[in-house]
Amino acid sequence: MDIQKLTTFFMWCTIINGALLVVSIMIFVSAPDFMYTMQSQLFPMTRETFNVVLYSFLGLFKIFFLVFNAVPYGALLIVQKNATASAA
């Protein structure tokens, strides 16, 4: 697999997972009561526990997004730029 295909793959992974992260945050900010009532029917918990779990989930999702998508994509862009600069 060449560097161009790998860069394209990580670009799309970053776009898709970034969009999922933004949508998740927007839903949590705009409709927390709706989310709590839906989830508390399946998993009985207090509102404080729900807030901690959801905040932890969003934080972990953000860390995974940065570590496994954004940073490798940025590194591939740097490597690709250096490879084209040294080839010229």
Q: Is residue 46 part of a domain?
A: yes
What pLDDT does 38 receive?
Answer: 94
- Average model confidence (pLDDT) for the chain? 95
Q: Is residue 44 part of a domain?
A: yes
Instruction: List, for residues 15-49, the tens digit of each pLDDT value.
Output: 999 999 999 999 999 999 999 999 999 999 999 99
Q: Is residue 51 part of a domain?
A: yes
Q: Is residue 25 part of a domain?
A: yes
Q: Is residue 14 part of a domain?
A: yes
Q: Dump the DSSP string for 19-51.
A: HHHHHHHHHHHH-HHHHHHHHHHHS---HHHHH
62-69 average pLDDT score: 98
Number of domains in the chain: 1
Q: Is residue 8 part of a domain?
A: yes
Q: Is residue 60 part of a domain?
A: yes
- Quote the domain boundaries for residue 11: 3-83
4-11 average pLDDT score: 97
Q: Is residue 88 part of a domain?
A: no
